[in-house]
Chains A and B, each alone.
Chain A
Amino acid sequence: MTRLKLKKLEEYLQCVDGFEKPKLLLEQYPTPPHIAACMTHCMQEQHDDIEGKLVADLGSGCGMLSIGATLLGAQLTIGFELDDAAVDTFRQNVVDMELPNVDCIRADVLHLPGSKWDKAFDTVVMNPPFGTKHNAGMDMRFLDVGMRLATGAVYSLHKTSTRAYIQKKSKEWGARGKVVAELRYNLEASYKFHKQKSKDIEVDFWRFDLSEL
């Protein structure tokens, strides 16, 4: 039984503050509350991957997915984020919403494998940098880290145009990858170079099952 209805979860997530000054190099697009609510709700409702679990959020930004997981009963959620302004906003969100059981660590996600975090988490969630501009392949590097940190499942968002490639990589990792949903992801005009006011891109919401490894 999921402890919060989807609508209520989304209402709570609308209270999560986003990036004050998004940084282009880090591809700081906020995860919209509606998408974050649908993602985390699905993880719990369909797969029982959140409640009572140890959850990591890679590139956690201001904590939208971490807070979604916490609201759905994750026993401990740990967000890893490089950027100082984002971790401060994350922490402020956690304090303002009076949430227990959620931590934020300022760290480079790419430095996590090979440490005590290997296979430490039940579930890993992420909305990675899509890696299209200055960070080519960054989403795949994040996904690779997720595979090494989780024992149960990894959830991630990737551009639909990369679907065949991700399916192939997933097999190499020995994970059972499945597209859970296709999203129209609305990137608001956060950066100056976005000439259109708002632009939809097609994004896949993936679940990678690691439980049989």
Chain B
Amino acid sequence: MKLSTYNFLTSMAIKGVKVGYPLKLTINKKDVIESEFNPVFIQRLLPKLDWSAVYSAAQVAELADDIPAAQPDNVAEDEQLLQRLHHLLFEIDVLEGQLECPETGRVFPITDGIPNMLLNEDEV
């Protein structure tokens, strides 16, 4: 699971959960897979992302030194930051870990790179 994907995941499908975001991420095993840098795409993606979840993912992935805690105004002009965002969001692949609902504590496991967001019938 890429950390760009993580930024969109919620537990709001659970009955009674209001926001279900951000999920608390734990990484037990990760890999790095290089991919083509596309600064235009990142600039287009940024308005859809929640920066606080980008930053917390960076902390969990031990890349917090690369990413500012608050979103700078001029990301588009900062080539170095765009490169670091690319690495964080597209090149880190979480293989083993978990996502935890901030409201219920329900844990969604990540196994072999696949987050399992499926709920039981009695949870929806």
Tell yes or no: B76 within 8 A of A by CB.
Answer: no
Cα–Cα, bound, A106→B41 (Å) = 25
- Tell me the count of chain B residues lying within 8 A, CB to CB, of chain A: 32
Q: Could you say which residues of chain A place their CB within 8 Å of the CB of B1?
A: 103, 105
Q: Could you say which residues of chain B place their CB within 8 Å of the CB of A107?
A: 117-118
Contact A87 B119 (CB under 8 A): no
Contact B117 A88 (CB under 8 A): no
Task: Give the distance to chain A from B51, nearest Cβ to Cβ, in Å.
Answer: 14
Contact A88 B114 (CB under 8 A): yes
A residues 81-125 near B (Cβ < 8 Å) are 82, 84, 87-88, 91, 95, 100-101, 103-108, 111, 114-117, 120
Tell yes or no: B18 within 8 A of A by CB.
Answer: no
Q: Could you say which residues of chain A place their CB within 8 Å of the CB of B117?
A: 105-107
Please name the residue on chain A nearest to B22 by beta carbon: A116
Tell yes or no: B80 within 8 A of A by CB.
Answer: no
Tell yes or no: A76 within 8 A of B by CB.
Answer: yes
Tell yes or no: A52 within 8 A of B by CB.
Answer: yes
Q: Could you say which residues of chain B place their CB within 8 Å of the CB of A190?
A: none
Contact A101 B35 (CB under 8 A): yes
Contact A103 B35 (CB under 8 A): no
Contact A52 B119 (CB under 8 A): no
Q: Could you say which residues of chain A place their CB within 8 Å of the CB of B46?
A: none
Contact A100 B48 (CB under 8 A): no
Known contacts A88-B112, A103-B1, A120-B48; A111 and B13 CB within 8 A of each other: yes
Contact A101 B90 (CB under 8 A): yes
Cα–Cα, bound, A117→B12 (Å) = 12
Contact A87 B12 (CB under 8 A): no
Tell yes or no: A186 within 8 A of B by CB.
Answer: no
Tell yes or no: A54 within 8 A of B by CB.
Answer: yes
Q: Could you say which residues of chain A place their CB within 8 Å of the CB of B35?
A: 100-101
Cα–Cα, bound, A203→B2 (Å) = 34
Q: Could you say which residues of chain A place their CB within 8 Å of the CB of B9?
A: 105, 116
Please name the residue on chain A nearest to B124 by beta carbon: A111
Q: Could you say which residues of chain B place their CB within 8 Å of the CB of A105?
A: 1, 5, 9, 114-115, 117
Contact B113 A52 (CB under 8 A): no
Task: Give the distance to chain B from A155, nearest Cβ to Cβ, in Å.
Answer: 20
Contact B124 A52 (CB under 8 A): no
Which of B41, B91, B115, B118 has the largest count of A CB atoms less than 10 A from its CB?
A: B118
> Interface residues, chain B, CB within 8 Å of chain A?
1-2, 4-5, 7-10, 12-13, 21, 33-36, 38, 40-41, 45, 48, 50, 90-91, 112-119, 124
Ordered nearest first, which 4 A-B pairs have the shortest CB separation? A100-B35, A107-B117, A111-B13, A106-B116
| Contacts A/B (CB < 8 Å), 8 sampled | A75-B41, A76-B5, A82-B118, A88-B112, A91-B112, A105-B5, A105-B114, A116-B7
> Interface residues, chain A, CB within 8 Å of chain B?
52, 54, 75-76, 78, 82, 84, 87-88, 91, 95, 100-101, 103-108, 111, 114-117, 120
18 additional contacts, CB 8 Å, given A101-B35, A105-B5?
Answer: A52-B38, A52-B40, A76-B4, A91-B112, A91-B114, A100-B33, A100-B91, A103-B5, A105-B114, A105-B117, A106-B118, A107-B117, A108-B119, A111-B124, A114-B12, A115-B8, A116-B10, A120-B48
